[in-house]
């Protein structure tokens, strides 16, 4: 099992914190400290002899003492809405059966000319508009998805569609339902250690492509969507990522996966003397395979532990948190985690009823709705956690605005 943890931020006077021993970490070509003392970070080679370097080799060193904050969000969903009653027409189920067991009543499904990339672009545009940031100011795009439109990744298409003229780096992060939280932490690392100023983190998935629509145990759960957040560099005292906790456990793959499978056509040429088994059969991914009971047990055990760990590293207690924002997988899981953490239901964000499980999109989608409705306001502190295939799980304590 692999894990990672962290606590970035110096002391923030607006929320209650415990005393934490100071430490120093290395990020890329610099370092930072948790004791609130600015450290000198040079994101470059030394300036000695710089006049002898070519323009591509010469770098101007700069002092970095940065935090990062969430300044804009956006979301997008397909036009096609599929209700529980619609599903009851193709599999043996009912609205009551689904809603009681999952909390889901509707989901959105890609159709027609919709694509995952177009949803991601729409969500990104809305995030940039809210933040009042021009697309040309974007330094990096992180697309958190397990269902890209292209096997090699869809992220580079997003800055192209946004009209970014500087060719910013864009790449996919594949970590299923934990992907968006991993994207947030990755963005913070780029800002703190790489001198980046504006990073778009997008969670987007089209799980409908990998659902067996004749399997009532899984087809009732999933929907398609995209959500985006703009992470921006700021002064260290404004920092909005207080702590995080990241894990994976490959043993749990058997309980939730969509493994690659070979097609039936056999091109092997062993009969005429060629190497047996070559060329290989064409392959594709199977539909989602899930052991629901085991995934439930995993989530209600691992997620509260992860959030408590992230809170401890941030020097915070549960009473400091304004909102609990979990991956929208199943209302029973959300309720069970909230109960174990002793979070009152009125402080738990949930929009699962309308969209189902949208994988990496679920957290930013729910956040965007909560922000635009006025529920989440600038300065609010959020405990966010994703969990799912891999198995992976990740928590982060963040502040909005």
Which token pair is 295?
A: 């995934």
Q: Are 41 and 64 in contact (CB under 8 A)?
A: yes
Which token pair is 47?
A: 């300036």
Q: To 5 degrees, how large is the angle CA 300–CA 303–CA 309?
A: 140
Catalytic residue among 198, 257, 327, 330: 327
H or E stretch covering 305: helix 292-314
Handedness of CA 140, 169, 122, 351 (dihedral sign): negative
What CA–CA distance (Å, rounded) separates 48 from 33? 27
Q: Which residues contact 272 (CB under 8 A, 6 or more apart)?
A: none
Q: Does residue 330 carry a catalytic annotation?
A: no
Q: Does residue 357 carry a catalytic annotation?
A: yes
Of 327, 251, 252, the residue nearest 294 (C-alpha): 252
The Cα-based distances of 101 to 88, 91, 117, 296, 329 in angstroms read 15, 16, 32, 12, 12
Q: Does residue 327 carry a catalytic annotation?
A: yes
Catalytic residue among 177, 257, 330, 351: 177
249: burial class by Cβ within 10 Å (0-12, 13-18, 19+)? middle
H or E stretch covering 135: none
Q: Which residues are catalytic?
A: 177, 327, 357
């Amino acid at each position: 099992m692999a894990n990672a943890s962290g606590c970035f931020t110096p002391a923030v006077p607006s929320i209650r914190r415990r005393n934490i021993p100071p430490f120093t970490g290395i990020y890329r070509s610099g370092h930072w400290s948790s004791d609130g003392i600015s450290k000198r970070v040079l994101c470059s080679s030394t300036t000695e002899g710089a006049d002898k370097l070519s323009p591509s080799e010469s770098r101007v060193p700069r002092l970095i003492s940065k935090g990062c904050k969430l300044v804009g969000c956006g979301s997008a969903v397909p036009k096609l809405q599929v209700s529980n009653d619609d599903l009851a027409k193709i599999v043996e189920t009912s609205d009551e059966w689904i809603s009681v067991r999952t909390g889901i009543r509707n989901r959105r499904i890609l159709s027609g000319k919709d694509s995952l990339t177009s949803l991601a672009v729409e969500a990104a545009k809305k995030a940039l508009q809210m933040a009042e940031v021009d697309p040309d100011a974007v330094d990096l795009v992180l697309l958190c998805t397990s269902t890209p439109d292209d096997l090699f990744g869809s992220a580079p298409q997003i800055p192209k569609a946004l009209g970014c003229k500087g060719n910013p780096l864009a790449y996919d992060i594949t970590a299923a339902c934990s992907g968006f939280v991993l994207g947030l932490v990755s963005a913070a690392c780029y800002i703190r250690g790489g001198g980046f100023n504006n990073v778009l983190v997008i969670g987007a998935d089209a799980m409908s492509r990998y659902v067996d629509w004749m399997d009532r145990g899984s087809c009732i759960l999933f929907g398609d969507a995209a959500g985006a957040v703009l992470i921006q560099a700021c002064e260290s005292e404004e920092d909005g990522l207080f702590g995080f906790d990241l894990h994976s456990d490959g043993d749990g793959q058997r309980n939730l996966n969509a493994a690659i499978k070979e097609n039936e056509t056999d091109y092997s040429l062993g009969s005429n003397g060629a190497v047996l088994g070559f060329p290989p059969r064409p392959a594709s991914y199977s539909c989602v395979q899930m052991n629901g009971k085991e995934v439930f047990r995993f989530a209600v055990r691992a997620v509260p532990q992860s959030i408590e760990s992230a809170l401890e590293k941030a020097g915070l207690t549960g009473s400091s948190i304004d909102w609990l924002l979990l991956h929208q997988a199943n209302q029973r899981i959300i309720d069970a985690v909230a109960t174990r953490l002793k979070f009152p239901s009125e402080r738990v964000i949930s929009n699962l009823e309308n969209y189902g499980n949208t994988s990496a999109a679920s957290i930013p989608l729910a956040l965007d709705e909560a922000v635009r409705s006025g529920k989440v306001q600038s300065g609010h502190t959020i405990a966010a956690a994703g969990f799912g295939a891999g198995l992976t799980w990740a928590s982060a304590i963040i502040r909005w605005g």
